[in-house]
Amino acid sequence: MSSTAIDLVVLQRPHELALATELLGRVPGKDVPAVYVEHNAPRPSAVDSVHPLAHQRDIPLIHVTDYNKLMWDNGIADVTVIAHGIADPGYLYSGRVAAAATMINEPIRRNRIVGTDLLGALAGAAPIDVWGIGTDALNDAAHRVPGVTGRGDASHDDLMAAVAARRVYLHTARWTSLGLSLIEAMYLGMPVVCVGSTMAPLVVPGEAGVVSADIATLGNAVTGFVTDVAAATLAGKAAREFAMAHFSLERFLEEWEVVIDALCERKGAQP
């Protein structure tokens, strides 16, 4: 049993409740305050997946999007939404390269979940450069698609600069939580073309890009932004304004401070 003084346990995966109990010799939510952060949209079912904390009243459940909160069966859990917050990388958009950029980790393994299968159809609208873990595999003979180039994994600063040099950002995910990469692209000042799924339609205003479930519409939007630099620049500025207003790191930290303070005060009030 650990004798370390602990104010709060942050759980992020189902097995961590038992693991924390084993490591600490204390039960999170009972012997020590705890909070569970759910980063993902429900699986395997979009509407019938019962959250691991659905029968737990003692551990607040924090979702990162309103969509995830809606779709998970949260049961009796005490549920709060704290949307993502990221540090502003700055307005880096130049759009000097007439191509689309996207960021997808493990595109081969995750395939339809992240919309890897859509890249071939959309590459007819403009060349697509893909950054992220495992994207080198897109260049292998078995996975190569004309117009799609895997750019590999890069350091954050290099990644932001390279992505911002492309004319438009493409978000193809079918079933993930709200990707930080989409928010980062908006912060960079990029116009976005986005598959209309999960939370994405609610965070891309019409003036910032195009959201659709129709591949032809998405392709036309990519072509439109690639060929019209002025429109792309204007949409990108609107995207950045929205991201700054809704996903600031300051707002994120303030909301977490409220949760942490409340849990620690509850601990202090216990006899």
Considering the domain architecture, whether residues 81 and 116 belong to the same structural domain is answered as: no
Considering the domain architecture, whether residues 199 and 254 belong to the same structural domain is answered as: no
- Tell me, yes or no, whether 1 lies in a domain: no
Q: What is the CATH number of the domain that holds 229?
A: 3.40.50.2000
Containing structural domain, residue 226: 97-246
What is the mean predicted confidence (pLDDT) over 120-145? 96
pTM greater than 0.75 (yes/no) = yes
Considering the domain architecture, whether residues 67 and 165 belong to the same structural domain is answered as: no
Considering the domain architecture, whether residues 231 and 263 belong to the same structural domain is answered as: no
**pLDDT-derived band of residue 269, with 50, 70 and 90 as boundaries?**
very low
Considering the domain architecture, whether residues 110 and 134 belong to the same structural domain is answered as: yes
Considering the domain architecture, whether residues 112 and 199 belong to the same structural domain is answered as: yes
pLDDT for residue 17: 95
Considering the domain architecture, whether residues 79 and 144 belong to the same structural domain is answered as: no
The C-alpha atoms of residue 80 and residue 78 are separated, in whole angstroms, by 7
- Residue 29 falls in which region: left (phi positive, over 0), alpha (psi -120 to 50) or beta: left
The C-alpha atoms of residue 110 and residue 258 are separated, in whole angstroms, by 36
Considering the domain architecture, whether residues 129 and 48 belong to the same structural domain is answered as: no
- Tell me, yes or no, whether 92 lies in a domain: no
- Tell me, yes or no, whether 125 lies in a domain: yes
- Tell me, yes or no, whether 105 lies in a domain: yes
Per-residue model confidence as pLDDT tens digits over 69-110? 999 999 999 999 999 999 999 999 999 999 999 999 999 999
Per-residue model confidence as pLDDT tens digits over 7-34? 999 999 999 999 999 999 999 999 999 9
Considering the domain architecture, whether residues 131 and 15 belong to the same structural domain is answered as: no
Considering the domain architecture, whether residues 229 and 260 belong to the same structural domain is answered as: no
pLDDT for residue 5: 84
pLDDT for residue 42: 96
Burial class of residue 257 (count of CB atoms within 10 Å of its CB; 0-12, 13-18, 19+): exposed
The C-alpha atoms of residue 157 and residue 87 are separated, in whole angstroms, by 12
Considering the domain architecture, whether residues 135 and 73 belong to the same structural domain is answered as: no
Considering the domain architecture, whether residues 115 and 242 belong to the same structural domain is answered as: yes
What is the mean predicted confidence (pLDDT) over 107-136? 97
